[in-house]
């Protein structure tokens, strides 16, 4: 249950702050959620929250556009297909979210 609360809190707050703060604001959000909403699976919650958030927003942008930019980016980054750019986006965001949440949770344990 705490896991779900933590997950949802990160998704919503990171989304709102993401609209006007630099990309790494999601790490601050995840860190705070790790501290105050510590769960049994902090890394997983943070990873999934940012990965889902980023993938969903990327998908929304892609949905309205017939442009093949994701495929072009895949070829530029040498990852093959547009699907792999989604995976890469999810992993990059997820890792930052996961480590930040885990760090926040560890700080809590210290007190």
- The CB-side HSE value for 86 (13 A sphere, CA atoms) comes to 13
Calculate ∠ Cα 103-104-108, nearest 5°: 115
Q: Using the rule CB under 8 A, which residue among 52, 57, 82, 84 binds other proteins?
A: 57
Tokens of 10: 């990160």
- The CB-side HSE value for 47 (13 A sphere, CA atoms) comes to 11
73-102 residues in contact with other proteins (CB under 8 A) are: 73-77, 85, 88-89, 92-93, 95-96, 99-100, 102
Binding site for other proteins (CB under 8 A): 18-19, 22-24, 27, 31, 54, 57-58, 60-62, 64-67, 69-77, 85, 88-89, 92-93, 95-96, 99-100, 102-103, 106-107, 109-110
């Amino acid at each position: 249950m705490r896991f779900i609360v933590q997950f949802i809190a990160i998704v919503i707050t990171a989304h709102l702050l993401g609209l006007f703060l630099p990309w790494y604001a999601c790490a601050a959000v995840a860190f705070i959620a790790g501290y105050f909403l510590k769960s049994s699976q902090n890394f997983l919650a943070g990873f999934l929250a940012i990965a889902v958030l980023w993938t969903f927003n990327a998908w929304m942008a892609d949905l309205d556009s017939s442009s093949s930019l994701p495929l072009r980016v895949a070829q530029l980054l040498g990852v093959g297909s547009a699907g792999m750019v989604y995976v890469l986006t999810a992993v990059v965001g997820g890792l930052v979210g996961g480590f930040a949440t885990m760090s926040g949770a560890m700080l809590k344990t210290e007190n």
